[in-house]
Every structure is written in structure tokens, then in C-alpha cells.
Structure 1
Amino acid sequence: MSLSKTTLGPFELYTIETGDFRLDGGAMFGVVPKTLWSRQLPADDKNRIPMTMRCLLIKSKNTGKVYLIDNGAGTKFNEKMENIYQLDQDSKNLQNSFEEHGFSFDDVTDIIFTHLHFDHCGGTSFYDNDDKLALTFPNATYHVVKSHWENATDPNAREKASFLPENINPIKESGKLNLVDKNHKYEEGLSGLVVNGHTIGQQLPKIEANDDTLVFVADLVPTHVHVPLPWVMGYDMYPVQTLSEKNEFLKQAAENNWKLYLEHDSEKEIIQVQEKDGRFYVSQSLTLNNV
């Protein structure tokens, strides 16, 4: 596994690959017919499409902080759940990614959660040799948007299966939870842009330096195939709101040449978009190495 990295102003950026998995293609594309989405992402015999869990490590030269954005599904799944999602962490995993970049889990000072669905926060904790939950990043403060935390700890019936107690409780009991407001500024050049269509209070970390902008787009645009406006996930709690948020976000991204860091795309790491005749399309595909 060869991982990418770059420097953007005072920030050193490192790709963190935490594993691959598969999700139902119909759920990933909502009302879009399979005849359309399967041309770009062919499904397996169980109608699942390939996905990845790509996180981002940020080291700030200004503050010395080491931020980790999300941390994948973790290792707490039993065999049944691993088979359902075809979870594969043999080569891509947190440990290998950190080691390749020369970091340890102890180095992380802050974890910025986009949201707390299992494939974004499961790596926060693990079962130790005594089968007790332990924290993977013992020195980290956990940042969650307040409205999202309220939603995750008292979820609706539809979303409940994505907020697993074994993921949420260690965060709650850590004593290191920091609830932030929307558009929170972590430091100069690093902030969180909040959207509410996929789940209440999802934050998209935004890095700005030297007239360049990189946005970690999480589940607003999970893959490059989701760039067209109507291609919205069936998993989204409020799909019409996602449509509106996506339109506004992609307009800004196109006008300002933002780079969009994709968390779940198994093929593309970073994209840029353009707009033509009211339609958005991928204009360029990059990695951190050539940002």
C-alpha cells in the first residue's frame, strides 16, 4: 500500500486508508435506476458496490496539533457483520496507514468526526485482551457537532442501526468529548462546514491555505459517481435537503476550484468539479501527492 501526502500552507496532510467494504447499490443511489449507476459501479451478486473508508490526518505547524478526520469501521464487528458488509482490513487499515506515515495513535491530539455512523467512528475503540472496550487514541479530544450528538444519542428508528452503542458509549464516557457549533473554527485555516440532509449535524472539515481549499466531503458526496444532483443516497434522512445542500456546495466548489476529498470512493481520492448547463461533472481527479 502506497499512501499519498502533501503540504498545504501550515498543514501537513496524510491519506489514511482504514479498509474496504461493500454497501447495497440501491441504497447508495436511492431513486436512480440500477441500469444507470451500475454502468459506473458494477454490483456483486448481492447487489453491493465497492466502497472504501478513507480518512485524513492533518498535522498543524502552527499549533502542533495532529487531527484525524474520522477513523473507519474499526475491528469490533463479529464475523456475521463482516460478511454482510464484506469488510476487508487485511492490507488497508489504521495501523498500517499510521505506520507508513511515521505516526503512532498516541500522536493524535484531536479527532474531528464528520458524523457517528459506524463506518466513520468505529475505529475510536477496540476490544482489549480482557474483552473490554479501550480507546484507540488515548490522547485525543473528540469533536462532534452538538446537534449531531443529540441525534446520535437519541436516534430515530430508521437511523438507529448506524449508531452502534459500542462506538458511541466509549466516546460518551471518555471525558474528552467536545461539542461544537456549526461552522466551528478549529484553528486558522481549519473549520467545519455543517450540512443536515444525510444526518443532522454532519460536518465537512475545510482546509484553506495559500488561496487553495480542500474539503473533506464525507457523505454529502460519498463517491465521484454521486456528483450529479439527483444521485442522492437512499440512506439520507432528508434527501430533498441533501439535494439543496449539494447544489449550493457544488456551486461554490466549481466557482472557487475547491478540491473535494472523497471518503468512500474506491477509485478516486480527490476530485474537482465544474458546472455546465446546470449540471455538475468531475473535471479533474487527483491524489494528495499532486494537489
Structure 2
Amino acid sequence: MADVKPVEFGNFELYPIEAGRFRLDGGAMFGVVPKTLWSKQIPADDKNRILMGMRCLLIKSKKTDKAYLVDNGSGDKFNDKMASIYDLDYDHSDLISSLKNCGFEPADITDIIFTHLHFDHCGGTTTYNEQGKISEVFPKATYHVNKRHWETANHPNAREKASFFPENLDPIKNSGRLNLVDDYHEFETNLDTLIMNGHTTGQQLPVLRNGETILVYAADLIPTFTHIPLPWVMGYDMKPIQTLEEKEAFLNQAADENWHLFLEHDADHEVVTVQKENGKFMLKNTLSLAEIS
């Protein structure tokens, strides 16, 4: 029996899926913002790293019976050195256990929607089997990737190359179940995507609609609640000026229409809303996924 009850959202049942935690350099996460400012919001450890979540979203469609998983975390294919660098923590949570707590097995997942293919968003697609070979975790899932992002991931620039791991991308490529989608792809009624190109080319943000209530999976456009202010842009972004432009338009609409933003990387805040005061964007409310239905 499932431990986690679904959140009813129109024609969908929603489940937050915690796929573990890790740490990234705070300076890189906040770009030009001084540590004296960002560390008041998210404290750093002795290696200047901040705690990050890997919060995925499971969407069960009542209309089509599809089970969509948005992203799947970093996976467990790291050697000891890499695991130490990122301080990977699967004691807090892990992908498979989180799915089981919601009443799902990996074979139940029919579709995986990748926001993008940086290692902390797609590494859970595969694992090492008992023979030490890479094997797929989701044997029946169709993998949905934006066309332009797929090109970027397979022919990355020197700066972004370290975020794309062959052991993550090659099994997706060779699965026979890769579906390359256009910008603003609609998966079904009330489930479509927004496209952002500042962080990486072709990042797709799933959007769910239930009447006037809108839930957006914010991925790496707004990775944590501290990234709501307009200038707080990650050093990881390939085109930070474009991120600023995309973020401003996104936040204006989010504030005007009271969008609910599902946060992938915030360790403590699951969903937030935003407001605009005196020309500045700021946090309005924090809530759980269950509180938006």
C-alpha cells in the first residue's frame, strides 16, 4: 500500500518524488551575488557548498493513464571521489524508494520528461547491474527531450561539457524510446511546456493547468526560493543575460496569475508563489504540493 497519497489536480494525480540530496558550490549557484547576501538565506558548509534537493514530480493522468516522471535526479553511478565532491546523500531519500512510497515501480513509469540533461536531472535513468554494467531503470518509459537541447547535450561547448555524462546520455540514445520534441510541446490537454534557453539551450519546464490554477516545474530557471530576485542568477547558466530576460517575463506572469512554482533543487521549500513590490520580485508564500489542490 502506498504511504503517500496523491494530490488531486484536475485530470491528474501528483506526487513529489525525492531522489536524494547533494551539495554544490554556493558561489557557482549565485553567480555575481556576494556570499554575504546569499549565505543568509542558505548557509554554506566548510567547503562553500550549499545543500540541494533533487525533487522530481510524478504526474499520473486520469485521462490517458500515463505516468509521467519529470526528471530523475543524479542516480547512483558515481565513484567515491565524485560522490564526495557532491556530498551525495541517499540516506535522506532515493528515487526508487520514493516511487515505491507512492505506490509505483520503475516499470510503471510510461514517460520521462527531461527538463534538460545535466547529470543531476537525468542520472537516475540508469544504474549499474549486478554484473557492473549500465542498465536502464525504467524499461518501458519513453524519454522526452527537447530537440534543440538534445543537439546541445551531444555537442556541448567546453564550458557545459562537464555537465553531460556519456553514461547518462548514451543509454537514452540507444534505448529506441527517445522522443525528440519541439519547443512548447503539449503532452496532453493541460500538460505542456515552457522553453527557457539561458541556463542551457532548450530547457523545458512542464506546466500543469487545473482551471485557473497553474503549476510550473521551475527546474533550473528558479532552482531555489532564494533565486526569485531577478539578479540572482546561477554562474552555471550559459547565457546569463538571456536568463535575466526570460526570468523577468516568467516572474511577471507568475506574479500576475499567481502561478505555483514547484522547486526542484530547494531542500526545504516544495512549492512557492511570488509577488512584485516596488519593481522587485520576492517570495509571496511557501507551501506543500498538497496545499495547492
Please, what TM-score do these two structures have when normalized by structure 2?
0.98
Q: In the alignment, which residue of structure 2 is the partner of 1:289? A: 290
Q: In the alignment, which residue of structure 2 is the partner of 1:17? A: 18
Q: In the alignment, which residue of structure 2 is the partner of 1:52? A: 53
Secondary structure of the equivalent of 1:271? Answer: strand
Instruction: Encode CA deviations 1:246-271: one digit per residue, 9 max, x unaligned.
Output: 00000010001110000000110000
Indicate whether 1:169 and 2:170 are aligned.
Answer: yes
Distance 1:278 1:244 in 2: 15
Q: In the alignment, which residue of structure 1 is the partner of 2:114? A: 113
Q: 2:228·2:281 contact (CA, 8 Å) conserved in 1? A: yes
Q: 2:109·2:140 contact (CA, 8 Å) conserved in 1? A: yes
Distance 1:5 1:202 in 2: 27
Instruction: Encode CA deviations 1:191-241: one digit per residue, 9 max, x unaligned.
Output: 011100000000000001122100000000000000000000000000000
In the TM superposition, residue 131 of structure 1 has moved relative to its aligned partner by: 1.2
Q: 1:194·1:201 contact (CA, 8 Å) conserved in 2? A: yes
Indicate whether 1:204 and 2:205 are aligned.
Answer: yes
Deviates further, 4-13 or 26-35 = 4-13
Distance 1:112 1:51 in 2: 21
Q: 1:114·1:120 contact (CA, 8 Å) conserved in 2? A: yes
Secondary structure of the equivalent of 2:77? Answer: coil
The structure-2 alpha-carbon separation of the partners of 1:205 and 1:96, relative to structure 1 and needing over 3 Å to count, comes to same
**Structure 1: gaps spanning 5 or more residues:** none
Indicate whether 1:88 and 2:86 are aligned.
Answer: no
Q: 1:3·1:16 contact (CA, 8 Å) conserved in 2? A: no
Instruction: Encode CA deviations 1:63-106: one digit per residue, 9 max, x unaligned.
Output: 00000000000010111000000000123001111111111111
Aligned length: 290
Q: In the alignment, which residue of structure 1 is the partner of 2:242? A: 241
Distance 1:3 1:158 in 2: 40
Instruction: Encode CA deviations 1:96-124: one digit per residue, 9 max, x unaligned.
Output: 11111111111100000000000000000
Q: 1:55·1:68 contact (CA, 8 Å) conserved in 2? A: yes
Instruction: Encode CA deviations 1:10-29: one digit per residue, 9 max, x unaligned.
Output: 00000000000000000000
Distance 1:225 1:91 in 2: 22
Please, what TM-score do these two structures have when normalized by structure 1?
0.98
Q: Percent identity?
A: 61
Distance 1:22 1:94 in 2: 17
Distance 1:254 1:7 in 2: 23
Q: 2:21·2:92 contact (CA, 8 Å) conserved in 1? A: no
Secondary structure of the equivalent of 1:151? Answer: helix
Secondary structure of the equivalent of 1:229? Answer: coil
Secondary structure of the equivalent of 2:167? Answer: helix
Instruction: Encode CA deviations 1:154-203: one digit per residue, 9 max, x unaligned.
Output: 10010001000000000000010000000000000000111000000000
Matching residue's letter, 1:264:
H
Q: In the alignment, which residue of structure 2 is the partner of 1:99? A: 100
Matching residue's letter, 2:248:
N
Secondary structure of the equivalent of 1:178? Answer: strand
Distance 1:189 1:248 in 2: 21
Q: Structure 1: which 4+ aligned runs deviate by more than 3 Å?
A: 2-5
In the TM superposition, residue 3 of structure 1 has moved relative to its aligned partner by: 5.6
